[in-house]
Each structure stands twice: as C-alpha cells, then as structure tokens.
Amino acid sequence: MKIAVYPGSFDPMTKGHLDVIERGSNMFDKLVVSILVNSSKTPCFTTDERMDMIRKATSHLKNVSVDHFEGLLVNYMKENNYEYILRGLRTVADFENEIQMSTMNKKLNNKVETIFLMTDVNYSYISSTLIREIIKFNGDVKNMVPDLVYEKIAQKYGRTKDEDHSTS
C-alpha cells in the first residue's frame, strides 16, 4: 500500500492545495493531508479549523484523510510508517527550498521519497501567505480558495458577500 503525506500549513487551504490533493489522491492508495503545527506562530485559522476545512473540501476523495503533527516530518512519518512526501512546485523559489528540504529529509531518513507535482497554471500565483495578506486588508479571495473556505473567511473576518460583488 503506497501512502503519501502532503504536509503544509494550509493557513488557509487554497485551490492550489486542493488541486495537488486531487491529483495526488489518484497517484497513491492513501493520501494524508497533514498540518504542520508550529506553536511559535499565531495562525489565521486554528489547527481544528484548518482540519475541518480540509476535511470538508476533500470529502469527495475517499482515500484522503486529514491529520496534524508537530516537530520533524521524518519522525512523524517513521512513527506512522509513511514512505512518500507529496509537495507542490509553483516557482523557482519553491524549487530551491524544496530541493534543500527533500535532500535533508532523505539524509535524515533514507527510506523517505519526496514526489513533486507542478502547480496547475491557473493556481501558480496563489499562496496562503498572500491570501492572509489580502484577507487582512479586506480584499477579495473568492476565486482563490474553495467555496467553503471562502465562507469560513467571511464568517471569521466579517466580510459579506455583498461587499465582494462590489469589488469583482
């Protein structure tokens, strides 16, 4: 059974993430989307909120589950007998970071393989970091995140649908 982990902060989950999850779920028997919990950072959405949003957005994918972890990814993988890491690549900057990270993970645990999926051209400009900035200044992220994530942003940050129509 080939099980992959798709680790990330998913703060919040975007359409780019969802696309990687959908394509990844076709490649592995099981895909675990796992939120890296960094207790030194204050996220926009709590771990529970992020897990809930990912669960709902992936409910149509029967081999996808949602989890979270703290600390080293390779330790988490070893504890759970996971062998594959799934990551997305958007830019050259992603590539540089990812090659360093995947090489380090391989040094730490030789059994772990990282598999990369190139971003879909429609989502290459989307990052959670930018989404958080846009939310902060009340900008419109409607086309960049799954609908239910958009609803959650509206609930939590008080943006109404009427306001969005006026800016689109």
Q: Output 123 or 159, the one with its CB closest to ligand ADP.
A: 123
Measuring CA to CA, which residue among 127, 99, 128, 124 is closest to residue 114?
99
Measuring CA to CA, which residue among 145, 134, 130 is closest to residue 167?
134
Q: Which stretch binds ligand ADP (CB under 6 A): 5-13, 66-74, 133-141, 156-164?
A: 5-13
68 — phi, psi (to 5°)? -145, 160
Q: Does 16 bind ligand ADP (CB under 6 A)?
A: yes
- x/- letters, 31..70, toward ligand ADP (CB under 6 A): ----------------------------------------
Report the alpha-carbon distance of residue 15 to residue 106 in Å, rounded.
29
Q: Which of 66, 77, 119, 145 binds ligand ADP (CB under 6 A)?
A: 119
Just list the catalytic residues. Answer: 17, 41, 90, 128
Q: Does 94 bind ligand ADP (CB under 6 A)?
A: yes
Contact 28, 54 (CB under 8 A): no
* DSSP at 44: S
Q: Does 24 bind ligand ADP (CB under 6 A)?
A: no
Neighbours of 37 (CB within 10 A): 15
Q: Which stretch binds ligand ADP (CB under 6 A): 57-65, 85-93, 106-114, 150-158?
A: 85-93
Q: Which 3 state secondary structure label does DSSP give 93?
A: helix
Rule CB under 6 A: which residues touch ligand ADP?
Answer: 8-10, 14, 16-17, 20, 87-88, 90, 94, 119, 123, 126-129
